[in-house]
Chain A
Amino acid sequence: MKRVSRIAAIILTIALLLSLVGCGASDGKTHLTFQIWDVAQRNAMQAICDAYTAQHPDVVIEVQVTSWNEYWTKLEAAAESNTMPDIFWMHTNQILYYSDFGMLADVTDLYADEDPNYYANHFSEISIANAQGSNGRMYGVPKDKDNIFLVYNKEMFDQAGVSYPDESWTWDDLVSASQQIYDKTGKYGYMAYNDDQMGYWSFVYQAGGYILTEDKTRAGFDQEGTKKGMEFYVGLQNYDWCPNQAYFAETAPGTAFFSEVGAMYIEGNWELMNKAVNFPNMEGKWDIAVMPRCPDPVSGDGRATISNGLCYSTAARGKTLEIALDVLKFFGTEQAQLIASSYGAAISAYNGTEQPYFDAFEKAGYDLNVSIVMDQFDYGVQNVNNAARPKWKSPVLDEMNKVYNGQQSLDSALANMQQIVDTETAKKLAGN
């Protein structure tokens, strides 16, 4: 009896061990994982993967979507234990942090065999800058480019008898239109949300200020233009037509807009198709326009919009580095970028592959003035970042919260934010 149970135990153990071995791929193909954070772009990503695997039947790529917040927690943990996904999206907020620590594969010479100047020949300066590390090397293949603009509710403008926003609009028009809409319809005007990229940054650059110096070593919160832009933006909240920040804590500006409680807000082009598809009852009632300009900037012409872009990256020490690099190389080709654009979720970075993005709206029957997105690239400002950004992002947000709360004046917040960014940046520079 004892013997039988011992034999049984041994057999069971062996069976368990065998099942562990069985976890590896047994179909002889190379399995790659591709991690992204935007579910709206899943189909586009799947399509370019399919295009690659059609040429390379021995490779299987699985697209995985994780939410934005979890993405970075997971990716960092994976980087520490060298188990990063084979291919993943990289964002300007984080690329310097990852590349400075040697976590990302250098892809500068990826296209050396066909064209040593491949990136410069096919991508814009901003796109290339968004994929570069502090040392100027490329740590990702540019994926897309975006900018932000004004979204407005046509019905509310009609009811209030105000003409639609256009290129001539300045900050003053934004304020007066909001006031009229509020007076006539009782709806909110422009919904000024406490955010950096989707909020005050554009206004700071329009006013001729800046958040970081060009070499990214110092903050610009002490600049006259910066102060002007932020004073205007923060001041918007004092008008009756603008909901306060407590409101936005429960209702995002986009949600408020598509529930028809507010007439205007700022959105990025990556959300357009998603919004159009998800709010069919709003079809024909809304449109988009360029960012209003600063009427009396400290310097410049008063125009600016924050332009960002993602890139495709792979781990420097990945187990399937060679194949992953080959996939990245394909993702950066005209063919792949054309496919990605055609889903209307993001404008591909490769010059000349933008059109399918705009066509996608026409094809789907959405009558939106999407061409303004293209025009805005002329005065796009690169999404603000430096290697210390993960460190200063939250503290700066806290300072802004205190301004909106009335716990401190904007002047003292500006001084504090200048100090926070400068200290963290200096620490980072000294450390490397």
Chain B
Amino acid sequence: MNKSIKLSLTARQEEHWGWIMVAPTIIGLIVLNLWPFIQTLYTSFCEHLGFGHYKFIGLQNYIEMFQNAEFWRATWNTVLFCILTVPLGLFLSLLVAMLLNAKIKGKGIFRTIFFLPMVCAPAAVTMVWRWIFNGEYGILNQLLGAHVGWITDPNFVMISCAIVAIWSNIGYDAVLLLAGLQNISKSYYEAASIDGAGKVRQFFSITLPMVSPTLFVVMIMRLMASIKVYDLIYMMVEDTNPAVTSVQSLMYLFYRESFVAGSRGSGSAIVIWTVVLIGLVTIIQFVGQKKWVNYDV
């Protein structure tokens, strides 16, 4: 590169303006994201003595973390939560999006109904679900005539949380996918039906490839959110619940370490581990997308 090229005066002024225009975002990112991240990284090598006093202890937090059975349990719970919610959630969202894209009466009303969970406060949503799942008086057990401890039985509690997570997210994901579906030109379908392609063939040969970029974005977002799941589980399962170890996610464990027990250091180590986990999953997805995401419209 030739550095001796001098920019004209106006060009240099414009360059200044460019920096000034992006400054609010850049400063915001540095102050609110980058700096806290560096601090978290540093904290993860420290022991929190109390009230902002830290002692550097090197890798001790990580060594203890990797030896802790509860930590591995939480990691597995988080992975399990992703496996339960992401594929099924995406499938249902796509299904809903396609139904909402079809020519049916009252489409607007249905779209609103499916989007409603997104508008409700997560805490309120969870409280309602807790009552639905209540083992003694819950409507679900009444309907089934069963006596299942949906949020107290270690075998069911994860499934219950997954159901609520999927239910809360379908609307949002479906709206995103709907936008993707509406970008597909009608002419593809017309051409396909003239050539004699059935609905199923049309779905796999036209709809899926054409919506795949949107689907990919939704999948990345959903997977990241699932790895970071905290509020839902915290609201559904209190720490006195005997089933808590069967559903405790990494972020739940982080909360208990950092804010209940006051061990900011080991809490930060859990966060760093989660960041690594999200990074790994995202890299795998970006490599994998080359096989199935279609950007040629």
Contact = CB atoms under 8 A, between A and B. Distances in A.
A398 B70 contact: yes
Nearest to B255: A73
Given A390-B261, A394-B256, A247 B242 contact: no
Interface of A: 73, 76, 79-80, 97, 100-101, 103, 194-195, 245-251, 390-391, 393-395, 397-398, 401-402, 404-405, 431
B245 A249 contact: no
B51 to A, nearest CB: 5
A183 B64 CA distance: 50
Interface stretch (B28-36, B96-104, B116-124, B149-157): B149-157
A340 B21 CA distance: 59
Contacts of B53: 101
Contact of A247 (B52, B135, B245, B259): B135
B50 interface: yes
Contact of A401 (B49, B51, B242, B263): B242
Contacts of A73: 259
Contacts of B153: 246
Shortest 5 CB-CB contacts between residues of A and residues of B: A246-B152, A249-B241, A80-B52, A245-B242, A246-B149
B134 interface: yes
Given A245-B242, A249-B152, A405-B243, 9 more contacts: A103-B51, A245-B152, A245-B240, A246-B135, A246-B241, A249-B243, A251-B136, A391-B263, A404-B242
Interface string B227-245: 0000000000111111111
Contacts of A397: 239-240
B213 interface: no
A247 B141 CA distance: 14
A203 to B, nearest CB: 18
Contacts of B239: 394, 397
B241 to A, nearest CB: 4
Give the size range of B's interface with the partner: 20 to 34
Contacts of A393: 260-261
21 contacts: A73-B259, A76-B51, A101-B49, A101-B50, A194-B242, A245-B240, A245-B242, A246-B135, A247-B152, A249-B151, A249-B237, A249-B238, A249-B240, A249-B242, A249-B243, A391-B261, A391-B263, A394-B239, A398-B244, A401-B242, A405-B154
A269 B195 CA distance: 81
- Which of B130, B151, B261: most chain A Cβ within 10 A? B261
Interface string B261-272: 111000000000
B51 A101 contact: yes
Interface in B24-79: 49-53, 70
B238 A79 contact: no
B238 A247 contact: no
